[in-house]
Amino acid sequence: MTLTKAGIRIEDLHLSFGETKVLEGIDMVIEPGEFFAFLGPSGSGKSTLLRAIAGFGPTPRGRILIGDRDIAALPPWKRNVGMVFQSYALWPHMSVRRNVAFGLEERRMPAREIGPRVEQALETVGLLHLADRMPAQLSGGQQQRVALARTIAIEPQVLLLDEPLSNLDAALRVQMRRELLALQRKLGLTTIFVTHDQEEANTTSDRMAVLDRGVIQQIGTPQQLYDHPENAFVAGFLGTANILKGAMQGADFVTEAGQRLPVAPAAAPAAAPAADVNRIVLRPQNIRIAASGGDIMGTVAHREFLGSQIRYLVDTPDGQIIVDTLHSSGPPPYDEGAAVSLSIDSQSAPLLAD
Ligand SMILES: Nc1ncnc2c1ncn2[C@@H]1O[C@H](COP(=O)(O)OP(=O)(O)OP(=O)(O)O)[C@@H](O)[C@H]1O
Ligand SMILES: [Mg+2]
């Protein structure tokens, strides 16, 4: 399939539903061929932003470019984008083949070109052998792939996917997200994938934008966002984070309760001067728990067995801190009520400033 790669550039985009501001000051550049995720909680504006790129919904203020073309004023069908909606709704009375052909017929493509295009799209998603089945005779994952074939058949420049795996069970989701990524790599198609599931975003995307309340909080690779969150929202949304308040004193971060934590200078965000630092992010797996000798004293309030890990909730003068330890075999070393001492891995604790 011959698809032209094109990047997407969004400049100072604002969007409101009536009086309600839903997107504010969105700026981002998505590279040609990139798999890019929009990640954020429910209501953060992910679908609204995706739909704005596709040309649905209220007209936003700002610019949207695909390649060199400003598409903000074009109707959806002239934008060269393919969108898979969350409810992918196949036509129940049409075969798989007819479902995929439908969009091409709508675009008034000559009949002799439609046949080969449909076959190629179905081949790409591995469903050519089921072309004559009806949607009701397919599994959920197969239906999802028909929806995808229907979209790539129109040969869009960019592919927009709004929670395309949300209707599948957990095991199928994991399998489909791998297949989706493999397909995206094969086609080299610039793709935006909307999800509220951080694992799904982490495992698929080259880069992602984290949204909260209509504002981009941070853009980067999954690992950059996890290791170097720029604010408490990103730190807490990507994985579990203990966020303690305090301030820098020399090379130490001193918590509100007066506990002194040695931190590496590299942990400080480049943009934030030490004087402005007011919080530290401690990941559960980067805290060591011992009977004594650490930086923070506490008491085990609760213990959870997670299989590969044991999670301790430890009451400390700075509030409850979550600590994860690897589990291989044998009884867990600390019981509820045990006095323990926590030490932090100074290389891995991001510092935050407001
Ligand atoms: N047609 C509409 N009229 C008014 N407000 C709307 C409309 N559509 C969406 N909104 C509001 O815009 C905000 C963003 O909605 P959006 O659908 O983009 O969220 P989302 O991040 O996709 O959430 P979810 O993960 O639940 O799908 C929400 O507060 C929502 O209530
Ligand atoms: Mg949505």
* Candidate of 13, 15, 16, 22 to mutate for ligand 1, largest count of ligand atoms within 8 Å of Cβ: 22
End-to-end CA distance of the chain: 48
Domains for the chain: give ranges and CATH numbers: 8-221 (3.40.50.300), 240-352 (2.40.50.140)
DSSP 131: T
Cα of 99 to ligand 1 centre, how many Å?
A: 29
Contacts of 5 (CB under 8 A, 6+ apart): 32, 33, 157, 188, 189, 190
Cα of 47 to ligand 1 centre, how many Å?
A: 7
Rounded CA gap, 67 and 158, in Å?
10
Cα of 41 to ligand 2 centre, how many Å?
A: 9
Minimum-distance ligand to the CA of 45? 1
pTM: 0.88
Cα of 172 to ligand 1 centre, how many Å?
A: 27
Cα of 252 to ligand 2 centre, how many Å?
A: 42
Contacts of 277 (CB under 8 A, 6+ apart): 247, 248, 253, 268, 351, 352, 353
Ligand 1 lining (C-beta closer than 6 Å): 17, 20, 22, 40, 42-48, 196
Q: Where are the alpha helices (DSSP H) in the chain?
A: 46-54, 96-106, 111-124, 140-152, 170-187, 198-204, 222-227, 232-237
Minimum-distance ligand to the CA of 46? 1
**Residue whose CA lies nearest to ligand 1 atom number 3:** 17
Q: Helix/strand/coil (H, E, C) string of 57-109?
A: CCCCEEEEEECCEECCCCCHHHCCEEEECCCCCCCCCCCHHHHHHHHHHHCCC
Which ligand 1 atom sits nearest the alpha carbon of residue 194? Answer: 22
- Rounded to the nearest angstrom, the gap between the alpha carbon of residue 206 and the centroid of all alpha carbons in its chain is 10
Rounded CA gap, 188 and 182, in Å?
10
Reading the chain (354 residues) residue by residue, the pLDDT tens digits are 444 678 999 999 999 999 999 999 999 999 999 999 999 999 999 999 999 999 999 999 999 999 989 998 899 888 989 898 877 779 999 999 999 999 899 888 999 999 999 999 999 888 999 999 999 999 888 888 899 899 888 888 899 999 988 777 788 788 888 888 988 998 889 999 999 899 999 999 999 999 999 999 999 999 999 999 999 999 999 989 999 999 999 888 999 999 988 886 555 555 567 888 899 999 999 999 999 998 899 999 999 999 999 999 999 999 999 999 999 888 878 999 999 999 988 777 889 988
